[in-house]
């Protein structure tokens, strides 16, 4: 079903730049302040193209053309060098998490773009038009992809073995700001490339991260087809997008939780619990907590029951909340069904936050009242005095797959795959 192809990617030239100074986290997890710090590390940092200055993406015209000129200059200066052959690119990340050492293998390749209705590539999260519009303008003008869509294949056990045993030269090695070690290799053998392509072609693939980039790729393909762009190019570059594929059986695949923090606006803990009454009940009023590890242990006592850990920073009060049968009924009446009903994040976004603050999570985020935090031992220490934490457990990968298979949609930020892949490791020019 999915079409996997090799391609000639660009990589940074280690003779011209320090690799760690030019790569960056994905654009959608970088704040403006972080962007300024990152691009200051090098005049060739990839965020100068992937995440240009404020107003460039929305302004269009000369600003976007300037990005294309910059890319051309980097290629002329051989800051970026092109793979002379057609390759697949294994991507290895070694990292520590919660006292354990992990390695995750992913495959950078070209993926055939298919409309959503064909069910070849399955989403689990909704997208926002403003973001997609900006990404589309960047792609149309610069004609390059600087980062990959992160997808999952389901139970292709031999994918990791193929990558580990067939990898050739190491193209780059870099540590990110969290000290995770990233290595990218290449596979040039056509027979192995064909084997991997066949392995991944018989079932759908599932988007883990990159819904906006894939939506952009669909729109770009459709526009190019209508306008006859690339009509004389037999490689049909507009019909492919750069992807990074990890198998669900990879022991290094970690999906973490994304917690919700809301400015309470003077509402105290008692007032919040009172507003949740009927749909949620207090299961445990914990003793004072010393950090995130205490919270995680308490949340795990929910077992199979959806719920969340509630903590009010100002008062220091906390409670473990479990959904009631009335709460499940409310969600069912709103059109939700399993496996969504089994997820903590659904009980929080679709019910608890609405009941407590009379607005949905998306509206509160737009108003600057709600923020998302995925991880960090200092989460509780860094909370503002008036913030309330809705701590949820991670969404299981199996649940995400089932949601996608059933054509359902999770709330925004329902998953957080860690570590993030770096932008700029392999660049594709169309």
The pLDDT of residue 58 is 59
Instruction: With cut-offs at 50, 70 and 90, classify the pLDDT of residue 398.
Output: very high
Segment 42-63 shows an average pLDDT of: 80
The answer to whether residue 140 scores a pLDDT higher than 70 is: yes
Confidence (pLDDT) at 168: 82
Rounded average pLDDT over 38-55:
91
Q: Check residue 283 and give its pLDDT.
A: 92
Domain 4-253+419-429: which topology?
Answer: 3.90.1530
Mean pLDDT along residues 238-255 = 97
pLDDT at 367: 94
Q: What is the mean pLDDT of residues 250-275?
A: 95
Q: Which residues contact 353 (CB under 8 A, 6 or more apart)?
A: 260, 262, 359, 360, 361, 364, 370, 390
Phi, psi at residue 245, to the nearest 5°? -115, 130
Percentage of the chain modeled with pLDDT above 70: 97
pLDDT in tens, 19-31: 999 999 999 889 8
Least confident of 103-107, 229-233, 345-349, 396-400: 229-233
Mean pLDDT, residues 68-88 taken together:
97
Is the pLDDT at 59 greater than 80, yes or no?
no
Q: Of 44, 22, 7, 6, which is closest to residue 172 (Cα–Cα)?
A: 22
pLDDT reported for residue 60:
61
Q: What is the mean pLDDT of the chain?
A: 93
Q: What is the pLDDT of residue 136?
A: 92
Residues 264-275 have a mean pLDDT of: 94
Share of the chain above pLDDT 90, in %: 81
Going by C-alpha positions, the residue among 378, 14, 416, 421 that lies closest to residue 180 is 421
Region(s) of the chain under CATH 3.90.1530.10: 4-253+419-429
Would you state the pLDDT for residue 127? 78
Provide the pLDDT confidence category of residue 57 given band limits of 50, 70 and 90: low
Q: Is the pLDDT of residue 407 over 70?
A: yes
What per-residue confidence (pLDDT) applies to 288?
67
Tens digits of per-residue pLDDT, 168-211? 889 999 999 999 999 999 999 999 999 999 999 999 999 999 99
pLDDT score at 61: 65
Please state which of the ranges 6-15, 22-31, 53-62, 173-182 shows the lowest mean pLDDT: 53-62
pLDDT one-digit tens code per residue, 287-310: 667 777 788 888 999 999 999 999
Q: Is the peptide bond before 419 cis (omega within 30 degrees of 0)?
A: yes
Q: Is the pLDDT at 286 greater than 80, yes or no?
A: no
> For position 418, what pLDDT does the model report?
96
């Amino acid at each position: 079903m999915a079409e996997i192809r090799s391609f000639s990617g660009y990589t940074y030239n280690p003779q011209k730049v320090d690799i760690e100074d030019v790569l960056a986290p994905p654009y959608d997890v970088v704040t403006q302040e972080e962007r300024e710090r990152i691009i200051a590390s090098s005049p060739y940092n990839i965020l100068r193209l992937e995440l240009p200055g404020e107003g460039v993406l929305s302004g269009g015209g000369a600003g976007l053309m300037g990005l294309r000129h910059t890319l051309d200059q980097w290629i002329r200066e051989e800051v970026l060098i092109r793979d002379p052959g057609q390759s697949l690119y294994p991507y290895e990340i070694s990292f520590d998490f919660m006292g354990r050492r992990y390695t995750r293998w992913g495959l950078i390749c070209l993926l055939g773009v298919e409309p959503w209705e064909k069910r070849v590539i399955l989403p689990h999260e909704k997208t926002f038009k403003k973001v997609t519009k900006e990404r589309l303008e960047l792609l149309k003008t610069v004609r390059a992809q600087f980062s990959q869509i992160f997808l999952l294949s389901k139970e292709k056990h031999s994918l990791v073995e193929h990558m580990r045993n067939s990898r050739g030269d190491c193209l780059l090695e870099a540590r990110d700001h969290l000290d995770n070690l990233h290595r990218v290799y290449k596979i040039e053998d056509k027979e192995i490339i064909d084997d991997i392509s066949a392995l991944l072609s018989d079932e759908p693939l599932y988007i883990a991260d990159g819904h906006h980039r894939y939506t952009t790729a669909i729109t770009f393909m459709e526009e190019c087809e209508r306008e006859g762009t690339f009509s004389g190019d037999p490689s049909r570059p507009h019909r492919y997008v750069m992807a990074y594929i990890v198998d669900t059986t990879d022991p290094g695949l970690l999906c973490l939780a994304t917690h919700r923090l809301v400015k309470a606006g003077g509402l105290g803990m008692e007032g919040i619990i009172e507003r949740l009454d009927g749909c949620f009940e207090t299961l445990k009023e914990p003793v004072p907590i010393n950090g995130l590890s205490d919270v995680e242990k308490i949340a795990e006592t929910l077992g199979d029951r959806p719920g969340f850990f509630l903590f009010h920073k100002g008062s220091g009060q906390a409670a473990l909340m479990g959904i009631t049968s009335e709460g499940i009924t409310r969600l069912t009446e709103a059109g939700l069904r399993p496996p969504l009903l089994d997820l903590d994040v659904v009980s929080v976004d679709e019910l608890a936050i609405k009941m407590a603050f009379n607005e949905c999570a998306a509206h509160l985020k737009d108003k600057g009242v709600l923020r998302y935090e995925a991880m960090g031992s200092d989460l509780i220490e860094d909370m503002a005095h008036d913030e309330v934490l809705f701590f949820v457990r991670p969404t299981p990968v199996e649940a995400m797959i089932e949601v996608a298979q059933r054509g359902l949609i999770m709330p925004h930020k329902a998953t957080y795959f860690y570590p993030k892949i770096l932008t700029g490791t392999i660049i594709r020019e169309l």
